[in-house]
Amino acid sequence: MAKAKTNGIELEYDTLGDPGGRPLLLIMGLGAQLIDWPAEFCAGLAGRGFHVIRFDNRDAGLSTALDELGPPDIAAAYGGVAPYKLADLAADTAGLLDALAIDKAHIVGVSMGGMIAQQLVIDHPARVLSLCSIMSTTGDRTVGRSTEEAMAALGQPPATTRDQAIANAVHSSRTIGSPAYPPTDEERRARAEAKYDRAYRPVGTGRQFAAILASPDRTAALHDVNAPALVIHGEADPLVDVSGGRATAAAIPGAELLVLPGMGHDLPAALWPTIIDAITANTTR
């Protein structure tokens, strides 16, 4: 893995596939790390001729931690005030493309990463060859709402020990994951251990959450997007209700919508071929 300087910070990233292939940039979600993009999923995309790039957002993984900004004020974020917003994360992403000497790329974002991807195509349309927004929403607070159980799992107090952090992560995965494609608890635990041992930044995750809350509704701006767009959403997503995906597809002219029954707020291995096929098809539109 390597670091790229962008927008006044450093982003940890890695790549997979032929450097001469079509560039495809993957953007992860709230508190997530580049390793949350499964290696086998990335290899599947690389096998379709893409040069796959995945990275840690600011305040996550091994990218710059902005701890000097302090803990977020969530009440202020609801009023539009936060240390940074999704537009800053989109600028980070555009800067990563600059650092890699990539003029344009296909963009795929999951959850908060989908929001960043949407903001990227709004703010930097010339950098986006195609857009795929997965399990995300528009910023309109009337759609994509979470269930009480999902919000409680997401809002657990920060753990004070490794064991507690891993137990919390397993519980969250069980709560928001795909009911039709559940991994074993051993698989959930292995992922949680890998993430904790690489980086554990609950305060940074809080600042990212504040960025989501403080950022404006993107619906009107999405009406002007002209990149080929694909929206993928799980019909059983408890963290971002499928209405968020439907609203995203409705906002973008010509967007295609793929709703997957039994899928929650994760990327189950059984659906990787379907998702990879859909992403690949969208890049050729």
pLDDT, tens digit (0-9, with 9 covering 90-100), for 197-248 = 999 999 999 999 999 999 999 999 999 999 999 999 999 999 999 999 999 9
Please check the confidence at residue 255 and state whether its pLDDT lies above 80.
yes
Residue 278 is encoded by which pair of tokens? 């859909």
pLDDT of residue 246: 98
The strands making up 9-16's β-sheet, listed across from edge to edge, are 2-6, 9-16, 50-55, 22-27, 105-110, 128-134, 229-234, 256-260
The amino acid that residue 161 corresponds to is: T
Extended beta strands in the chain, E state: 2-6, 9-16, 22-27, 50-55, 105-110, 128-134, 229-234, 256-260
Query: What is the CATH number assigned to the segment(s) 2-283?
Result: 3.40.50.1820
Give the CA dihedral 59, 64, 70, 71, nearest 10 degrees: 10
pLDDT of residue 189: 98
pLDDT of residue 256: 98
Q: Quick one: average pLDDT of 166-180?
A: 97
| Cβ atoms 138, 248 nearer than 8 A | yes
Unique residue bearing structure tokens 């344009």: 104
| Cβ atoms 72, 83 nearer than 8 A | yes
Give the CA dihedral 96, 102, 108, 193, nearest 10 degrees: -50
What proportion of the chain, given as a percentage, has pLDDT over 70?
Answer: 100
Task: Give the whole-angstrom CA distance, residue 60 versus residue 120.
Answer: 19
pLDDT of residue 155: 86
| Cβ atoms 106, 50 nearer than 8 A | yes
pLDDT digits (tens, 9 = 90+) for 67-112: 999 999 999 999 999 999 999 999 999 999 999 999 999 999 999 9
Q: State the chain's mean pLDDT as an integer.
A: 97
pLDDT digits (tens, 9 = 90+) for 217-229: 999 999 999 999 9
pLDDT of residue 154: 87
Task: Give the whole-angstrom CA distance, residue 139 versus residue 247.
Answer: 10
pLDDT of residue 114: 98
Closest to 208 (Cα-Cα) out of 2, 64, 15: 64
267: left (phi over 0), alpha (psi -120 to 50) or beta: beta
Q: Quick one: average pLDDT of 246-256?
A: 98
Residues 6 or more apart in contact with residue 240 via CB below 8 angstroms? 111, 135, 136, 137, 144, 146, 233, 265
| Cβ atoms 25, 17 nearer than 8 A | no
Crossing angle of helices 112-123 and 86-99, in 10° steps, is 70
Closest to 260 (Cα-Cα) out of 283, 282, 231: 231
Q: Quick one: average pLDDT of 38-67?
A: 98
Q: Quick one: average pLDDT of 245-269?
A: 98
List, in sequence order, every residue forming a beta bridge with 232; answer none if it has no partner.
Answer: 134, 258
* Confidence at 1, pLDDT banded by 50, 70, 90: confident
Domain locations in the chain as residue ranges: 2-283
Please check the confidence at residue 165 and state whether its pLDDT lies above 90.
yes
pLDDT of residue 200: 97
